[in-house]
Structure 1
């Protein structure tokens, strides 16, 4: 292969792997830090900083050493990619950090743990791959420096674009995260072969090194994850396993659903929602559930209610039917983002249940704002009610818990709450809210100079006892 064609191939493949690296890092860290602008910004910022440093250092390698440096960097990058981004390694890394640093406000902050992961794992990988561009500029013959640099960055960027789409929208979606990591390792293994020497010893060394890398990568990214997980798709790591008294479904490290052998066999907060929604056995209820989990809301008697589940992860339904419930789900399933679905839909519901999390305690940002909760209210029937599961501190002594409570009550002025426990710790808090546009008596204030509280309280008690 001509030198310039070989350089173009290496730049393109390096570009494929570099953009795939960002997508995979974001996806692999979701179970531990959630999905947010903060976590994404940390990953992208670290990537760009390591990229700049790699360009700088790579441009200072002596021309006679560029072949050896390029070969070494590609093998290092491939090894870190296959091992450092594997789910077993990432899980162990965050588990050890949590135990070593404790649960304090600063040292126990998941974003600090993410910063350390990016600096210790992702940054060295990016630094090694970034040197590819300046090192390969040594292969240009008969081109000006500006044209050579332009060609190199253009080819690498084309690889970035294709790699981003291919990794996130095709490979990760259809084959899972592990397969995406293996594919990106293969890109780099091809690069290693393109930069290896022509002697028998060099080829033998490359064969042994790349074979070992791919074997370890397959074990860490395919064999082990498939042994412990039902799915490692584009959105969630899904595990289903037996526990005393039933089965548990875990999504991105969150205890998503439980089903047992008793009549009231789900998580306590799910059983409370069931009682509120289905106990009346009203005819023809329209119920929308945003966030499917293990589809346990419709286990048991739901009467004639029509239930629609909306979840972004299509693997949730397959996991529930094949490994968790063992039967087809009750209700209709629609794969979509919760907010996007509400924006597109013109339907109205008697109940909307909101139970959406990207990991054990993180709600996606666009599903936790005043605008979203107003949208939920607008999709209720006049007498409709919204039920929101919020993981927060019931004491409302931290900014997040207090602000979330205020945000929900701004969108729904009339709410009551059910709390799974009252500690200064994260608990499931259920908000039961009626449509703020419902036609009903306007609530007023009780004051000392009237007897309204006595009269209306007596009437309410009388009506309650007469049923």
Structure 2
């Protein structure tokens, strides 16, 4: 026998469990980011794995729903206790297996999918169990089966919406990923105990042990080391001190799983990475005057804006979507916010909503690893950037691609050539290793750079050179495709060949 269960309680329970399960889905993407980045691949893997878990859980829940109601509820309660353990365990399992999985599976798509499956399939599986059990009980006990079934489906959908909104807008930014999963663990624990009580479960030693296991897993998840110094709505941010001399600090900013910039306190004009060294030097060479104005898409550790400010260039504007990145740059990387106008919004939108603004230099520095903002590499965006340049202005952006493919670089060059009369490709003058990921800077403007080779400190003096014109034309014609807002498969173009 079961305790009398009103429809409102079943509907509420379904909504709460559904909300908790969608919180886990959103948090999964955030937790994976420090290991694999936040890309189309990451979200595709998360959504696919979570849906697979839900589907398998629904199938098993349907099998359980054939049992007598009390027995089905007891099984469902046990499944949610297991869901609580595996949800809390995800905080501990992910850092333990991430390195091994990523080393064992070289292809990014499969490595991300495998890692997601190992960590987040079981929490989703157990969260999928209650829906069919509760639906069958609701239909069996309600006076009108149609409205009861509709209410259960609606509750699942409303709960999913609420969980998505709470995770994205509240939990992650205020609690962080680990604490958010502990909250979900607590929700699963309470829900599981409710179902056990409704199913007239009698407390046993095994049951008490299961509850203690859930509590222990939650405690360990809270005590686990946090991979982030600061977790914002957008990124997992970390600062690493790489100083040779503690009295002369040099720091590295890590956003998600990638190094995004290095700065030294006493050397504001020196760059420590190839792409910022090229962006800095080429901007100075191509600027129409010494006090040139600049617009920077992406702040990172603000190394280039800081260098411009140290030299006394003209007005500096930075569009950095994440306020936490700017705060960290000011606190740990010696950036003075008073030296620039900082816009905490998307770079394309910032340009679009300021039709009267004109800049001598526009720099796109939002291109990292397999994570590429698609809307910042299209023909429409490049035309917008060109419209915001002064008569002799230049657009520069960093691009990363595999030496043996260059599909992304070729397509960006082909696209920029439809907008700018002159397009140049710059990189270090050194032979890359086979298959190596190479850093480029692509330049668009009205005229060529006065020099075809430069030396810049990165931090040691490094020689960079421009591709010959015929090589640029051949690259664009041979492998490039024009990227548009309608079709820009940049993730595929950047993917590994193996």
Give the corresponding residue for 1:56: 59
Secondary structure in 1 aligned to 2:369?
A: coil
Give the corresponding residue for 1:80: 86
Give the corresponding residue for 2:13: 10
Give the corresponding residue for 1:266: 272
In the superposition, relative to structure 1, how do residues 275 and 177 fare at CA in structure 2: closer, same or farther (>3 Å)? Answer: same
In the superposition, relative to structure 1, how do residues 281 and 430 fare at CA in structure 2: closer, same or farther (>3 Å)? Answer: same
- Give, in angstroms, the shift of residue 28 of structure 1: 2.5
Give the corresponding residue for 2:235: 236
Paired with 1:89 and 1:311, the residues of 2 have a C-alpha distance of: 33
Paired with 1:185 and 1:47, the residues of 2 have a C-alpha distance of: 17
Identify the range of structure 1 (413-422 vs 191-200) with the bigger mean alpha-carbon deviation. Answer: 191-200
- Give, in angstroms, the shift of residue 145 of structure 1: 4.2
In the superposition, relative to structure 1, how do residues 348 and 91 fare at CA in structure 2: closer, same or farther (>3 Å)? Answer: farther
- Give, in angstroms, the shift of residue 74 of structure 1: 0.8
Give the corresponding residue for 2:300: 293
Q: What pairs with 1:52-451 in structure 2 (closer than 5 Å)?
A: 52-61=55-64, 62-63=67-68, 64-84=70-90, 86=91, 89-101=93-105, 108-140=106-138, 141-197=141-197, 199=202, 201=204, 204-205=208-209, 207-220=211-224, 224-225=225-226, 228-245=227-244, 246-260=250-264, 261-262=266-267, 264-278=270-284, 282=289, 284-300=291-307, 301-325=310-334, 328=337, 330-346=339-355, 347-357=357-367, 360-393=369-402, 395=403, 397-420=405-428, 421-423=430-432, 424=434, 425-435=436-446
Paired with 2:376 and 2:84, the residues of 1 have a C-alpha distance of: 37
In the superposition, relative to structure 1, how do residues 402 and 151 fare at CA in structure 2: closer, same or farther (>3 Å)? Answer: same
- Give, in angstroms, the shift of residue 240 of structure 1: 0.5
Contact 1:67 1:195 in 2 (8 A): yes
Give TM-score, length-normalised by structure 2.
0.77
- For the aligned residue pairs, the C-alpha RMSD in angstroms reads 2.8
Q: Which runs of 5+ in 1 are unaligned?
A: 102-107, 437-444, 447-467
- Give, in angstroms, the shift of residue 19 of structure 1: 1.6
Aligned residues: 423
Secondary structure in 2 aligned to 1:259?
A: strand
Give TM-score, length-normalised by structure 1.
0.82
Deviations 1:396-438 (A, max 9, x none): 63433332332233333412232135414212201222159xx
Deviations 1:149-201 (A, max 9, x none): 22212112111111111110122234433333233223222212322446554
Paired with 1:404 and 1:83, the residues of 2 have a C-alpha distance of: 42
Paired with 2:118 and 2:210, the residues of 1 have a C-alpha distance of: 26
Identify the range of structure 1 (395-404 vs 313-322) with the bigger mean alpha-carbon deviation. Answer: 395-404
Secondary structure in 1 aligned to 2:280?
A: helix
- Give, in angstroms, the shift of residue 332 of structure 1: 1.9
Contact 1:317 1:329 in 2 (8 A): no
- Give, in angstroms, the shift of residue 362 of structure 1: 2.3
